[in-house]
Amino acid sequence: MISRVFDFMKQSKSIQLNNRLFLDLLSSSSSSSSSSTKPKALHDVFINHRGTDTKRNIATLLYDNLNARNIRPFLDSKNMKPGDKLFDHINRAILTSKVAVTVFSPNYCDSYFCLHELALIMESKKRVIPIFFDIKPSQLDVMIERVTCSDDEIQRFRWALQEAKDIVGLTFDSCKGNLSEVVTVAADVIVDRLVELDAEVGDA
């Protein structure tokens, strides 16, 4: 499928075991969703991003913008504290968020953590808003070495990337774009999606 994009300027066995436990939780919660309540939403928005590329610019700016609107965003550097278990906290935040923002950037696809988060977001069928930050959808591919994770995980990550590439998103070129404007547009889109989700719940 051709990716449709709205152009604004337009590490380990213990980790894999931990992931499986959360996937089991996801499976059990989704299979029983018709007869019981879903996990309580602790956050409105989960911000999935590559820290080395975007934490000091779009990710933090978006977090601050959403916070100012009384929306509950999750950003690891803002919501986690010393002593928190990394995967437990991140996975729980994903599963208990209403919407996810995925900020794709040049070094995104060489991070196991980013790809794991993306896969869990897609598997949990979150409403996703992609932002392509200094990268095109066609450039996204798994770049981590096979010694880091299994073939099954590689396939899982590639599936998640393809799912994300098939979603209409925002694009940003730092050489010619206005960062504050794309942050505002992204926040507006997030608000619209949250309103839509609340309306769907009300109609159910």
Closest CA to 91 of 53, 124, 131: 124
Distance CA 170, CA 128 (A): 12
Q: Say which of 117, 123, 153, 163 is annotated catalytic.
A: 117
Query: Is 163 a known active-site residue?
Result: no
**Torsions phi, psi of 170, nearest 5?**
-105, 145
Token reading at 201: 């719940």
Distance CA 19, CA 1 (A): 29
Distance CA 142, CA 164 (A): 13
Residues annotated as catalytic are 117
